[in-house]
Amino acid sequence: MPEIALQSPPLPLTSLTDDEVLFRDSVRQFADEKVRPLAKEMDEKAVFDQGLIDQFFQLGLMGIEIPEQFGGAGGKFFEAILAVEELSRADASAGVIVDVQNTLVNNALLRWATAEQKKRCLPRMAADTAGAYALSEAGSGSDAFALKTRAELKGSDYVLNGRKLWITNAKEAGLFVLFATVDLSAGYKGITAFIIEKEFPGFTVGKKEDKLGIRASSTCELILEDCRVPKENVLGEVGKGYKIAIETLNEGRIGIGGQMLGVARGAWEYAAKYAQERKQFGKAIAEYQGIQFQLAQMATEIEAARLMVYNAARMKDAGIPFVKEAAMTKLFASQVAERVTSLAIEIYGGYGFTKDYPVEKYWRDSKIGKIYEGTSNMQLQTIAKLVLG
């Protein structure tokens, strides 16, 4: 019987340039050597190692698309997705920290910031400042524009009052792209994006959520009580926050696809290796057709998800409309991650259900893929509108 491979299903190398392969392999090595050994402890303590975040900056992973003139790597969106995938293969919390930084915060600044704002913010985002993207509130999840956080112009400042919930990277972040409304009666046309510094008076990072998965990644409440924000910290135009939010989240969904792809790959690798080591009835369980078929189906779905993620990222870099593909990518990759990680637990049997073995963490980490940056139902709604006209 042919031996089952111990590594991931082969990557479509023909779709990557030599530089992209080199970049991907370097991130993979870093993830294996530096991130993976800390993943279990970080998950148990629900705290991400600050030393790893420092290394993310040192390696240029927090400013992949930021131009070199601002201290960034001057890379492509596709490379950011490769980084998220490889980090998530070792630990989904690591993947989402780099994902939010690049696909949401940095992308919003690159597209919408003024020249002065870029000069002031981008060097920090590339060097040492983590970012967070603050849109959600208690009453505005899928209905993202039912915002209650208010922004009132008083002199040279806007004064913000309200609360944000489920904000990724909130504990580690020094800069926030935060959405508030300047006019509740205007609905989504009153929403405005602001650049918030953690040190601004009246701004507080509140409760950290105790989560099922991606536990090392901080998810916190933000509290704004007469928080004064200079007018020059408006991102884009007043009343155009809805446009910034929608277009940035479209890109972010490809990032979540990359994260879920990495999660699925990590679980598959462990399951394939274990299947060749675990013996029952005198032979490795990988020699039984039932297990072979499960691993083959998992590998096929991973490859399909990979091609969707890569295609959507390539489309974004090429300037081709990608909203439908981004929604499909997030929807499908999150489904694959949940199925693959669940099957990995079953291949491990009783061991898979314990925290002494790695696959249960992958399953817990996979669940968020169907929820944040637009639930699966919201992705289906977007897809339906676009394919049905």
State the Cα–Cα distance between residues 160 and 278, nearest whole angstrom: 58
User: Tokens standing for 218?
Assistant: 């901080």
Cβ atoms of residues 237 and 254 within 8 Å: no
Cβ atoms of residues 85 and 91 within 8 Å: no
What DSSP string runs through 115-139? Answer: HHHHHHHHHHHHHT-EEEEE--BTT
Cβ atoms of residues 84 and 56 within 8 Å: no
The dihedral sign for the CA sequence 60, 65, 71, 73:
positive
Which residue has 């057709």 as its token pair?
A: 289
- Which of the following is catalytic: 86, 172, 221, 373? 373
- Per the annotation, the verdict on 373 as an active-site residue is yes
State the Cα–Cα distance between residues 54 and 334, nearest whole angstrom: 29
- Using the CB atoms, write b or e for 210-231: b if 16+ within 10 Å: ebebbbbbbbbbbbbeebbbee
State the Cα–Cα distance between residues 116 and 110, nearest whole angstrom: 12
Question: Which residues, in sequence order, are CB contacts of 105 under 8 Å at separation 6+?
Answer: 125, 131, 132, 133, 175, 177
State the Cα–Cα distance between residues 267 and 288, nearest whole angstrom: 20
Strand partners, 337: none
Strand partners, 280: 283
User: Tokens standing for 172?
Assistant: 């580690």
State the Cα–Cα distance between residues 121 and 337, nearest whole angstrom: 35
- Catalytically annotated residues: 373
